[in-house]
Structure 1
Amino acid sequence: MKRIVEDLLQLVAKEEERTSCLDPIPTCHSSCNKVLLCSDPGDPKCHRCDNKCHIGDCVVCDKQQLVRCGCGKSRVFIQCINLKNSKPLQQPKCDKICNKKMLCGRHRCQDKCCTRASHPCNVICNKRLQCGHKCMEVCHTHRCPPCPNTSFDELHCFCGREIIYPPIPCGTLPPKCDQMCTRKHPCGHTPRHSCHSEKNCPPCAELVDKHCMCGKEALCNVPCHQKDPSCGRPCSKQLRCGTHNCIKLCHRNHCQSEKDVCIQKCNHARKLCGHACGTPCHGKTSCPPTLCTVWVTVKCGCGRKSSQLLCPLGSDNADIQKRIKEKGLSGIVTGILSGKKVDIGKFMELKSIGNLDCDEECQKDEWKRRLADAFGVDTSSPIDQAIREMYNPFLKEQVKIEPEFISQLEDQMKKLIHSVQASQAKSHQHVFRAMRPNHRRIVHELASYYNCQSWSQDPEPQRQVVVLANRNSIIPSTSLTDLNNPTKRLKKPI
């Protein structure tokens, strides 16, 4: 508390009275209570001097204050000796990392208590250039500039004929050379390409003879670099099941791994009907008692009407099979399955097998046929019409456009089937020459009527069709060429 000097003089003893302006000013016994330098005078919580009334500056405050750090994210305690008017003489810092993205977009600021508005990156780029050196520019967003290094050594091609003289900027490619390559190939063939600076030579294109992967055929004119040539034929090696052969195309290594099982269907003939078993491969064990799923065609006596039904002899109904044997109908059923005309009137009692009776239309057709034979008139019977409907519309249209081409195809397929039947081989195949997509479609669709397999191989424009005939292949009773030839007469029905 401030006091008037005159009031203080009244309290001072006479022996301490001031006689000169130079005499010390007397002090009271009250507290100083001045606002210290560390605080703002307008702050009600400011720090004040606790000492008794004294002359001169107050002592330094030994307290602490809570002050915002430089980034403003935290508040820290600071000694009052470092403050003036509640403001720090040096801005305090917290331990929080800035973690803001630099202007380069790749790095982040790792400074503690960062106060910068922008963050330019000062990290060295250090990216690897094409030449192998590293970019020493400050981190940037654009592409790295060319390598500034320069070589003072001569740069020449592999054989040394072409030379580039220094100084040579880093990254310069070796000069092109028109001389033949002088390197030696591992295969021993002479290189047929120009000198190059690449580490490895291009694949050797020398044409040689090699065995295919399955080892069945020696292939000619195979590029030397081709390690696994294929003959394009099925492997046909016997599988572990002992009943099927491998259907994969020419390949290396084993046909099956130790964990693989045969996924083909059993082709053992059933005892009664002779159709294939059709169940998943069960090795050499006996076929399970299952229904035959083959559909057969049943016709009426004259052959005009027809119907599809499941194989009657392949049923698991023991009663039906017993009645078939008792009535002596096994031969008739065999005739039905082979496509022959038989009298199925005796099947009337076996309703589960099914039968077809001739109707009035059949009688009319038979009367017309006999009348035509009596007068020598050539007319097409319903059976002839059924034969004509055997081929799809696409083939019937193409045979009119290209009859010679289809005639050659049919002759070749007949020869292929005859060759299988005359030999002991299970199958024969024929590779047709490269042809257009439309011709390939004709081959594929026509092969299905001969019960032959077909597939395409090789890329365009050298794509070929391979036709495979086996023991089950057949020759249709009437060829597509004969149906299109008006001069040929179809055989009269018997």
Structure 2
Amino acid sequence: MFNIPCYVTTVCCRQPCGKFLPCRIHTCQRSCHSGSCQSFDQKCIQKCTIQRRKCGHSCNLSCHGDDPCPITTCQTIIKLRCPCDSLEKDGICNIKSNEFNEEKNNICDVKTSPFIEEDYDFNLTSRIEALKIQIENSLLTRKQQQQQQLECNDECRVIQENKSFTQAFSMNIDEPRQLPNIYTDFLIDYAKNNFEFVQICQVTRRLLQFYTFPPMEFNERHLLRELASFYDGIIHMLHDAHAATFRFGSGSIACV
């Protein structure tokens, strides 16, 4: 025991009281005290913590004791997202169960009681009916949640296009990009004098997967071979001494 000064008339351990209030739902949150936790005419003002059947959030209304939770709209703040999860903002749940569905839920509680072998048909029928009601409620809840989704905007479409582009070219936008290799002197000199031909090769690579070039001179074929070496996944094979078929795909040039 701690020493208590003689002038102290009330001894308190300063721990939460924890006694059940008259509502039999909540406990007293006051520090240790003497006497009753609340006066006779005082009501519990704590929030109801019973979960709502539809959305799973707490009732959050003032304590109503053993009475069923009133049928109200859920005011819990939730995160609203668009279908692609690019947009996000705070919103109100707003899911409300009507009285008809609440009665159905009570039926579910009764009909999911322990199975009794003596009345097999009744139990089986009751459980099937209860399962149907639960499925209906789940579908209704999902529909209500889908109605709360944000609509995708132009920013979402741009993000989705970038993701599709990244996946198509097997690139990871989060990884640092490596600097390109240094072009050879032949490529630089030839591009200066024949820029139109080099530009045609680049445009063809972006638009087509297969392209057969017409018979070319040695320098042009040499240009394509060196240009192709700057892209990944290269397969190079000439049909003859003058013509070649180039395969373009997944960010690479392949000479077949």
User: TM-score range, shorter-chain basis?
Assistant: 0.3 to 0.5
Instruction: Please give the TM-score of this superposition, normalised by the length of structure 2.
Output: 0.44
Give me the TM-score of the superposition, normalised by structure 1.
Answer: 0.25
Higher helix share: 2
Larger-Rg structure:
1
Greater RCO, 1 or 2 (C-alpha within 8 Å, sep 6+): 2
